Structure 1
């Protein structure tokens, strides 16, 4: 028999007892010592609101029912809401991704021949690269990698077959470095780490040839970040990335490289160095600078630094510092950015587990699993399974057992 949600259960019990919504409100007010109105009972029955744990126990007492039955009904309603919301988010994410792809001609139809490349050509290529970069917010590396690698091939052919001035050549080399970083990131997101590393190495070389030291530093930062997912420490490369980029880095570029340095220190279990880098990243964002930021840091802001801080403190097993910041930031995080939100929720789940909040960890990981459905990235699944393994010792807890069954763990 299907478990009723709280609205149907409450209505059924009230009608079986021969009570109106007003009379039930009066009973609950008497039992609890707090005033509750007929309108609130109506909201519970329509499931526009859910009774809090305080009211759940008094509802159970009012009907002589087991409070666990009331709690299960509330949990059923929450699960239905999540399922409906997840479906809406997935549909919205797929729609946005499709529209974004349609807005940008993904297949290269340009017929390359020896011709003169000028500033207007480079500007057009930059705009296209910027638009394509934003696809990464919505779809994963399995879908973006073929697009990004095609852009790399096209720009490499331009450099080989076209005519241009020295300045235009440097700009094309810098653009190539950007595109190689995009392709490397997509390969990493798709689980092709060796291919990603080759792109990062090629990007650093192209950036150095173009004199784009900020991009060269970013290539090192990407490589350092990838090292942190293995047994290797990324601290040396992350430190080098900041030093290499320093002469050209705008405040946002500095903030990005510093937060990645913080992550490298956190994964190396170096809390003081991680905290110092995070503080420096926040300070960098406050610096006034008239230079325009490169488009490849368009997403760097205070929220990004806060998320990284929460992740760092999770890695360092400091749940009292990690949980508040991750809860605050993720409560307003756009769910069409499903891959990123699913990943960040896994760190929140881990911090809940560090704080011995097992049921909350399971609920959060369940939400991450739901959001990651259909995302063309290997990273959320890897993280979800890693946290699930830590939860296996609590399999007897109903929320954990249900989650592990869903995951096949």
Structure 2
């Protein structure tokens, strides 16, 4: 969306709202919000936004809002008062994706003349958070810089803080980290809403919010809070697109695809879209991460050839020379991670002869201190053992999984253990299998 100092009122939209639809601005805004939900778009609308559309403050709404307006009115966008520019013969200028929702980012302190815009931006963010049910999800502790003017060094400090907090996920489950990550996200969005900054700093800050939303979404997913995770991933995608961060936008899509694949729905198309969104210029570790998630989506959907191709591309990405800085959210991806995903994919595809050697080798080196992850990965090794007819070995491995996952704030290892144990039910007479079932009950 772009704002225009030389306002040209949109009398077409105003007449359509008042004389055809007989709606107040508030009623029209509610209709737009309903249309956005129907389209699956994160667009928050209120009467002030409608006022700015009609009085010409907003010269051209962003792409998502154009779709919402078409759905709301039942008219093509070209007939809603935003026709070809009379001088150039072209459609009026549309801002680039990094600032498509300009109300979210104030590039300077509001003056007396643009005070209403500042209020509108604040209401927009609040409405976005309320729409996604995030406003009171956790008690945010405002960062000391909230409400002040900030520069690049402040954002960099916050990026480093976010990286440090991400390390908690190596040792704790989502139930234990969710409130903390949500508090960080709420503080980040408060800073976007109240701090002053230039355009470049604003983009970096919105990108940080996208990253924080991914952290919180992952914790929600790990804790079994799937509806909240989906909303947070959607919020992250919108923020990453506003910031012009294609790699981070791709990662938001990949998270969503991973969630779909983990809940018995196909995430293949979304995972492929994640790779395409990030593009060929993405950092190599980010590319490797997105390709391995595509491999998992393919495996979960029974597409062996697709999984194999994606794994090959993940390995190739790691081989690619790349001098650019690797983002903290993907820098951890290495050969061992790709090997783990390779074993998981083959186990999911019921190819134990391929899965077992890979998983045995890499998990032998995996530290038990990373209890959640190791417990989870062991379930695929147990699954592969069961598929190969090694019932007792599968039972021993599941018992180890249950030992490791005790006290870990994640629902996933135990859920996976139950799934594997169901396969062993016909063999409960075997002492090791009976012991694994007893361990589950304990």
Shorter-chain TM range is 0.7 to 0.9
Matched residue, 2:332: 299
Residues 350-402 of structure 1: CA distance to partner in whole angstroms, max 9, x if unpaired? 00001100110011111111111110111111011111111111001111011
Q: CA offsets, 1:327-360, max 9 Å, x none?
A: 0000010111000000000000000001100110
2:194 paired with 1:161: yes
Which of the pair is proportionally richer in helix? 1
Counterpart selection for 2:295 from 254, 258, 262? 262
> What's the CA shift for 1:107?
8.0
1:399 matched to which residue of 2? 432
Change (3 A) 1:360 1:181: same
Instruction: Please give the per-residue CA displacement for 1:303-328, whole angstroms capped at 9, x wherever unaligned.
Output: 00000000000011000000000000
Equivalent in the alignment of 2:214: 181
Question: In structure 1, what is the equivalent of residue 286 of structure 2?
Answer: 253
Report the Cα distance in structure 2 between the residues aligned to 1:165 and 1:285, rounded to whole angstroms.
35
Distance 1:367 1:376, change over 3 A: same
Q: Which residue of 1 aligns with 2:411?
A: 378
Shift of 1:108: 3.6
Q: Distance in 1 between matches of 2:280 and 2:440?
A: 48
Query: Which residue of structure 2 lines up, in the alignment, with residue 286 of structure 1?
Result: 319
Give the 5 Å matches for 1:170-209: 170-209=203-242
Show the counterpart of 1:56.
none
Deviation of the 1:405 alpha carbon = 1.9
Correspondent of 1:329 among 341, 362, 365:
362
Aligned to 1:67: none
C-alpha offsets along residues 139-164 of structure 1, whole Å, 9 cap, x if unaligned? 00011000100111001011110100
Aligned to 2:64: none
Is 2:250 the partner of 1:239? no
Indicate conservation of the 8 Å contact 1:391/1:400, yes or no.
Answer: yes
2:262 paired with 1:215:
no
The residue number in structure 1 matching 2:29 is none
Q: Deviations over 1:215-268 (max 9, x none)?
A: 000000000000012231000000000000015411111100000000000011
Q: Write the distance in 1 (CA, Å) between the matches of 2:294 and 2:324.
A: 23
Map 1:5-404; keep pairs closer than 5 Å.
Answer: 108=141, 110-111=143-144, 114-404=147-437
Q: CA RMSD in A?
A: 1.4
Task: Answer yes or no: is the 8 Å Cα contact 2:159–2:208 preserved in 1.
Answer: yes
Q: Distance in 1 between matches of 2:313 and 2:335?
A: 12
2: distance between equivalents of 1:110 and 1:219? 25
Structure 1: distance between partners of 2:359 and 2:237? 33
The structural deviation recorded for 1:406 is 2.1
2:424 match: secondary structure: helix
Distance 1:247 1:357 in 2: 43
Assess if the C-alpha contact under 8 Å between 1:213 and 1:247 holds in 2: no
Q: CA deviation at 1:112?
A: 5.4
Name the SS for the 2:239 alignment partner: helix
Q: Which moved more, 1:244-253 or 1:314-323?
A: 244-253
SS at match of 2:368: coil
**Structure 1 residues 256 and 302, CA gap change in structure 2 (3 angstroms):** same
Cα distance in 2, alignment partners of residues 266 and 127 from structure 1: 35
TM norm structure 2: 0.67
Secondary structure, counterpart of 1:296 in structure 2: coil
Shift of 1:138: 0.2
Q: Is contact 1:112-1:161 (8 Å) kept?
A: no
> d(CA) in 2 for partners of 1:362 and 1:247?
43
Once the 2 structures are TM-superposed, how far is the Cα of residue 110 of structure 1 from its aligned partner? 3.6
Is the 8 Å Cα contact of residues 263 and 308 (structure 1) preserved in structure 2?
yes
Partners of 2:426 and 2:390 in 1: how far apart?
Answer: 14
Q: Please, which runs of 5 or more residues in structure 1 have no aligned partner?
A: 1-105
Q: Kindly tell me: are residues 306 and 143 of structure 1, through their superposed partners in 2, closer, same or farther at Cα, counting changes over 3 Å?
A: same
1:153 alignment partner, SS class: helix
Q: Is the 8 Å Cα contact of residues 378 and 401 (structure 2) preserved in structure 1?
A: yes
CA separation in 2, counterparts of 1:114 and 1:170? 17
Runs of 4+ in 1 over 2 A off after TM superposition: 106-114
Shift of the 111–291 alpha-carbon distance from structure 1 to 2, 3 Å rule, reads closer
Residues in 2 aligned to 1:408 and 1:127: alpha-carbon distance in whole angstroms: 42
Aligned-partner SS, 1:295 = coil
Structure 2 stretches of 5 or more lacking a match? 1-138
